[in-house]
Amino acid sequence: MTVNLWLNWAGLAVSLANVMAMLWLGLTVLLNSSRRPRQVWLTGGGLLLGGLFFVSHTAILGYRPAFSGPGLEIWWRLGWLPLVGLPFIWFGVMLWYTGGWPDGSRLPRPRAPYWLLLAWGAGLLLWLGVGRPLPSFAQVVQLKLTGAAAIAGVPLFLALYALYIVLCTALALALLFRPAAAATLTADVRHRRTRAGLTAAAAALVAVSWLAAGAIGWAALLDAAGLHSSDISRLTTIAAGIDLLVSGLIAVTVALLGQAAISFEIFSDQTLPRREFQRQWTNVIILAVGYSTVTGGALALEIRPVGLLLAGTLLLVLFLALSHWRSHTWRERYLRQLRPLMTSQRLFDRLLAASPVEFEAAAPLVVLCQDVLQAQSARLLPLGSLAPLLRPLAYPSNQIDLPASLPPELLAQLHTPAQIAVPLAAGWAIPLWSERGLIGVLLLGPKQSGGLYAQEEMEIARAAAERLIDTYAITEIARRLMDVQRQRLVESRLMDQQTRRVLHDEVLPNLHTVLLSLSGADSDAAKLLAETHGQIANLLRAMPAAAPPELERLGLAGALRRLVDSELAGQFNSVEWQIEPEAAQRAAELAPLNANVLFYAAREMMRNAAKHGRGSNPAQPLSLQVRLALGHDLRLEIEDNGAGITQTNSNGAGQGLALHSTMLAVIGGELSIDSGPGRTRVTIRLPL
């Protein structure tokens, strides 16, 4: 093969690869942007325009080696339209990237260079449309540039264009060294990650502009020198090499620009990149390189069209097969990573075992962070009604990079389930939601690789963490209820044994003695009957309390008043009621289950206050305050001036608190206790 053949093959291959990469990238930016302001249209349109230029460039190269044939002049003229627009578009995109043209703004901030370059480019386009400032392609091949308006032997249009592209690319590169502050932390992270790549791309385009300007000046000098045909043939080879170098630099620019657009979503206005786009971009690069190499070789070797068609078809079939195989392999590997998060945790087996095994909530978090996300650290913080049931989880267990509690300023930013993640100084915060609202936050540290999390990874982390909190909460609720049930069963058995013993060993012998005494006219019969009556009464007193007042008839506030006036009568020196009418009305409208849970929880707190409030001093005055208020939720407060929970016998109280806080969590409520010597306040909240 000759050198010209190799140059022709390489030039066609690089040009065709640029066509495929730029068109795919431009369509991807436009079709997948969450919003499409002017800047997004400028970026996507510029990529499509660049692809169209290389369409004309590839068509022109297809006329080699003679560069003659119908349609050649049309491709030459059409190719100049995107050539004039692309430098200004590149400057505008870099102006947007560096913060000089904010989203939604009609005009960029530094107006003078913008308007100067816009007017310059518009003038060149107008000149192309109304005049004939360019020599024909045949004249360019023969290095005959005269005939048009010229300055120092260089056509005026080409001289103005050379200066124009040098200014556009140089100013674009200068913008990257003076970026404005990013509007958000997310944008700042993306810009810091992509600035080096885009700076290299801008530098490559500066080199392209200088090569183009140098080629124009060099052609004008050669035209003035009056070359022979043999010299023109040799210089054509040099020109082909320069063209290949320029196309290669543009291919590098497209690769860097595509990596920034796909890996960091800087031009699509997305919060996070998408992993699938990275795989697709890799496939596009592989296809573009393979297809352009085969097609360029077939065109350079002048293979018959049917041969070119067959070669392209075979290549596409091979690419699709390999792409499907890679996709299947990736999916299988990903499913293996996700399987531990989706398989059963054998919760019922753990709970029903003779010795219940505690649910290892940290194990799924380790799998999620270590195998799926490759995160350096993470912390799962439960919030809302489930927070009293769960404890925060950390990965690794001794990590200290992330806060142990949620800062109020961060909590204020989490107001809609549409938020996938909120950037932090040391990572990301992923809000976790359910039908009840915000149930937790997953704090993620940086990735082990130092890259950004993909949007798919954030969504998987969110779904897995929400499922983990639900599973953890349900398991804890079931465990607490089963513990209470086991305790009640033990107490019931003890009560049954005590009842049988008393009846068998004491009551029955006494009754038998009474019967004997009565038959013998024993004077102590009345005394024995009285003693037996007292023993039976004590047993009845130890039986469960009677059913509560009718909540549907009295309402929550009325039922609590009836409780204090009947069962707890005389237990408190004073009782103060602060019941808002609106709150009492809303409480009366609660569903039966919710009303019963609230009543039983309040009754347990009042009983505890009456039983343990005086501590070791039975003569201590004890007062009770009951407040029912309505705000964002229904709030019931029970406060006493007793000794405090920490100084009381909490054997029974602890079970009651566990049971009622669990039942409140089931219906979406929350129970909190603020206790100390001289004051105990129990607050029960129920969302409305």
CATH number at residue 666: 3.30.565.10
* Residue 573 to residue 614: CA distance in whole angstroms: 11
Q: What is the SS3 assignment for 163-219? A: HHHHHHHHHHHHHHCCCCCCCCHHHHHHHHHHHHHHHHHHHHHHHHHHHHHHHHHHH
pLDDT score of 547 more than 50: no
**645 inside domain:** yes
Give 546's pLDDT tier (boundaries 50, 70, 90).
Answer: very low
Alpha helices in 301-395 (DSSP H): 305-342, 347-352, 362-367
Whole-number pLDDT of residue 88:
93
Task: Tokens 């890799």: give the residue.
Answer: 282
pLDDT score of 537 more than 90: no
* Residue 357 to residue 177: CA distance in whole angstroms: 60
* Residue 630 to residue 569: CA distance in whole angstroms: 28
Looking at the fold, whether 641 and 675 belong to one and the same domain comes out as yes
Instruction: Give the percent of the chain with pLDDT over 90.
Output: 16
Looking at the fold, whether 465 and 500 belong to one and the same domain comes out as no
pTM: 0.66
Q: Which two tokens stand for residue 553?
A: 């008839």
Q: Is 151 exposed, middle or buried (0-12, 13-18, 19+ CB in 10 A)?
A: exposed
Query: Contact 176/197 with Cβ under 8 angstroms?
Result: no
* Cis status, amide bond into 592, omega within 30 of 0: no
Quick: pLDDT tens for 393-415. 888 877 666 776 777 777 777 87
Closest CA to 662 of 385, 281, 376: 385
Q: How far from 465 is each of 381, 412, 441, 462, CA to CA, in Å?
A: 10, 20, 9, 5
Looking at the fold, whether 12 and 61 belong to one and the same domain comes out as yes
Q: How far from 438 is each of 371, 381, 386, 442, CA to CA, in Å?
A: 26, 11, 10, 12
Sequence-distant (6+) residues with CB within 8 A of 430 are 420, 421, 422, 441, 442, 443, 444, 458, 461, 462, 465
Quick: pLDDT tens for 219-245. 777 766 665 555 666 777 788 888 899
Q: Which two tokens stand for residue 187?
A: 């944008």
- Give the count of beta carbons closer than 10 Å to the beta carbon of residue 458: 20
pLDDT score of 309 more than 90: no
**309 inside domain:** no
**339 inside domain:** no
Looking at the fold, whether 26 and 151 belong to one and the same domain comes out as yes
Whole-number pLDDT of residue 649:
46
Residue spans of beta strands (DSSP E) within 476-553: none
Which of residues 523, 542, 561 is at a domain's end? 542
Q: How far from 422 is each of 34, 373, 426, 652, CA to CA, in Å?
A: 17, 17, 11, 44
Looking at the fold, whether 202 and 63 belong to one and the same domain comes out as yes
Domain CATH number, residue 452:
3.30.450.40
Query: Contact 439/446 with Cβ under 8 angstroms?
Result: no
**212 inside domain:** yes
Looking at the fold, whether 60 and 125 belong to one and the same domain comes out as yes
**307 inside domain:** no
Looking at the fold, whether 82 and 125 belong to one and the same domain comes out as yes
* Residue 638 to residue 681: CA distance in whole angstroms: 6
Closest CA to 255 of 275, 282, 276: 282
Give 513's pLDDT tier (boundaries 50, 70, 90).
Answer: low
Looking at the fold, whether 204 and 64 belong to one and the same domain comes out as yes
**297 inside domain:** no
Quick: pLDDT tens for 611-657. 888 888 888 888 999 999 988 889 999 999 888 876 444 455 566 67
Give 418's pLDDT tier (boundaries 50, 70, 90).
Answer: confident
**302 inside domain:** no
pLDDT score of 50 more than 90: yes
Total length of the chain = 688
Counted domains in the chain: 4
- Give the count of beta carbons closer than 10 Å to the beta carbon of residue 566: 10
Range of the domain at 594: 551-687
Looking at the fold, whether 102 and 208 belong to one and the same domain comes out as yes
Whole-number pLDDT of residue 109:
67
On the CB side of 573, CA atoms within 13 Å amount to 11
Give 472's pLDDT tier (boundaries 50, 70, 90).
Answer: confident
Span 440-454, mean pLDDT?
A: 83
* Residue 121 to residue 284: CA distance in whole angstroms: 32
Quick: pLDDT tens for 8-34. 888 899 999 999 999 999 998 888 877
Which of residues 252, 269, 286 is at a domain's end? 269
Domain CATH number, residue 109:
1.20.1070
Looking at the fold, whether 511 and 400 belong to one and the same domain comes out as no
**422 inside domain:** yes
Residue with the bigger pLDDT between 474 and 296: it is 296
- Give the count of beta carbons closer than 10 Å to the beta carbon of residue 66: 8
Q: Which two tokens stand for residue 242?
A: 């320069």
Whole-number pLDDT of residue 494:
63
Sequence-distant (6+) residues with CB within 8 A of 269 are 33, 34, 35, 37, 40, 103
- The H-or-E segment that residue 683 falls in is strand 679-687
